[in-house]
Structure 1
Amino acid sequence: MQYMLLIYTDDTTEPAPGTAEFGTYMQRYMEFTQEVKDKGLFVAGDALEKVNTATTVRVRKNEVDTTDGPFAETKEVLGGYYLLDCKDLDQAIEYAAKIPAAELGSIEIRPVMVFD
Structure 2
Amino acid sequence: MKYMVLMYADPAATAAMSADDRADVFRRHEALHQDLAGTGEMLNGAGLSYPNETTTIRRPDGRPERTDGPLTGATEQLTAYYVIDCPDLERACAIAERVVDFHVVAVEVRRIHDSFGMGET
The answer to whether the superposition gives a TM-score over 0.5 is yes
Alignment match, 1:41: 41
The letter for the 2-side match of 1:24 is D
Alignment match, 1:57: 57
Describe the superposition over 1:25-61 as per-residue Cα deviations: whole angstroms up to 9, x where unpaired.
Answer: 2111111112112211011100001111110001233
Structure 1 residue runs of 5 or longer lacking an equivalent are none
Q: CA RMSD in A?
A: 1.8
The letter for the 2-side match of 1:65 is E
The letter for the 2-side match of 1:32 is L
- CA displacement at 1:91 relative to structure 2: 0.1
Alignment match, 2:80: 80
The count of corresponding residues between Structure 1 and Structure 2 is 114
Describe the superposition over 1:61-116 as per-residue Cα deviations: whole angstroms up to 9, x where unpaired.
Answer: 332110101011101000010000010000001000011xx123111000002238
Alignment match, 1:25: 25
Structure 2 residue runs of 5 or longer lacking an equivalent are 116-120
- CA displacement at 1:19 relative to structure 2: 1.4
- CA displacement at 1:21 relative to structure 2: 2.1
User: Which region of structure 1 is more displaced relative to structure 2, 46-55 or 24-33?
Assistant: 24-33
The 1-side partners of 2:17 and 2:72 are apart by 26
Per the alignment, in what secondary structure is the counterpart of residue 45 of structure 2? strand
Alignment match, 2:118: none
Specify whether residues 19 and 98 from structure 1 end up closer, same or farther in structure 2 by C-alpha distance, changes over 3 A only: same
